[in-house]
Structure 1
């Protein structure tokens, strides 16, 4: 049997990791081992300290990290719970940070959406199934019908289905979750910006949707990404004008 060679004296030392970081990792492993699901109650800080052979102070710091990452939820007086799988965007903390009338926040949100949706469109152009293509086409048609008949609710539903349909066709669950959450935050600004109106950028949006769909259907990733970028940039400009008009006069 071959002997395991001793570590070389020239091997670089392992990078230092604070104790609370190691414990945070151990807590995640424990959640998996106990097969806890989102919403399940976790062991208390004292119980975690005993299980992991560390102090309650270190456990508390580890929980702070996991809370910031959206993996653990601490309820005062009730204990620790496995957080819902929403990540930071879905947390109440982020929603509280986002101010729908703050133009800087709206710009940042659209910048984030631009990265997401150009990537999703690029991937959809190479991955979309025939069923997914039909769903995207149908959503675009719903938008068109909503615009032509002056039905804001119908337009909004088609728009939502269109963008989520493309994210679904990217076959990347992380992108889909991110697109869904960014659009949820955008709806907060819609109550001040474009909610209840069918007009403004709506007519152009119909044609922009058609261009995105055509590029995805034709399997042209770069054209799909470019069309998505144009659409997001124009939508942002429409929001900017509306928010400035309604909020700032």
Structure 2
């Protein structure tokens, strides 16, 4: 069920049960579902490459466009990540991480970036759930610090620092992912 859920093929409706999507995607067809293979390392690396571009753009735009309410949402999401890490609650960390990246996209005021970030995060969850059983190495502590740097640059209205911090975060996350793959393959 966990894998089907990560693939966007099943959802639970409170009081109504589980619903499994048909080939057309009752839950909404994946734009990239026919292309992206979450178990293909080349595809996973391409996804990181794509995320680096989109998240740098979203952060750059958010630095110039974020409203006070959007800044609070970004800060709250970063705090949720930190709390999840400190308390060892992986689900809380993951929720905060998703909210953090989506809040930045929302603060960019570009609906295309919002949807592409949402879709890329969904694909990232697929590859993590299938390939790494829901874990992405030990990058959580560093991610908390990197999220704070991204938030500060956005809050300070510094587009280039925000984009640079986002790129550094994605580069470090990819490197952690590679290390975890190496560890699993070669011990």
Residue 123 (structure 2) pairs with residue 185 (structure 1)? yes
- Write out the 4+ residue segments of structure 1 that deviate beyond 3 Å after TM superposition: none
Quote how far apart the aligned CAs of 1:194 are. 6.4
In structure 2, C-alpha distance between the alignment counterparts of 1:167 and 1:122, rounded to whole Å: 10
Quote how far apart the aligned CAs of 1:243 are. 2.5
Aligned position for 1:246: 184
- Aligned partner of 1:104 among 42, 51, 74: 42
Q: For residues 1-249 of structure 1, what are the structure 2 equivalents within 5 Å?
A: 90-91=30-31, 94-191=32-129, 192-193=131-132, 195-196=134-135, 200-247=138-185, 249=187
Aligned position for 2:19: none
Paired residues of 1:101 and 1:247 also in contact (CA < 8 A): no
1:190-230 C-alpha deviation (Å, 9 max, x unpaired) = 11226146x61110000000000000000000000000000
In structure 2, C-alpha distance between the alignment counterparts of 1:207 and 1:179, rounded to whole Å: 21
Aligned position for 1:75: none
TM-score normalised by L of structure 1: 0.61
In structure 2, C-alpha distance between the alignment counterparts of 1:149 and 1:175, rounded to whole Å: 32
In structure 1, C-alpha distance between the alignment counterparts of 2:186 and 2:77, rounded to whole Å: 34
Quote how far apart the aligned CAs of 1:96 are. 4.0
Gap change, CA 1:248 and 1:103, over 3 Å in 2: farther
Quote how far apart the aligned CAs of 1:244 are. 3.1
Identify which of structures 1 and 2 has the higher relative contact order when contacts are C-alpha pairs closer than 8 Å and 6+ apart.
2
In structure 1, C-alpha distance between the alignment counterparts of 2:135 and 2:174, rounded to whole Å: 17
Quote how far apart the aligned CAs of 1:110 are. 0.6
Gap change, CA 1:244 and 1:95, over 3 Å in 2: farther
Structure 2 unaligned blocks of 5 or more: 1-23
Number of matched pairs: 162
Q: CA-atom RMSD, angstroms?
A: 2.2
Paired residues of 1:124 and 1:170 also in contact (CA < 8 A): yes
**Bigger CA radius of gyration:** 1
Structure 1 unaligned blocks of 5 or more: 1-80
| Higher helix residue share | 2
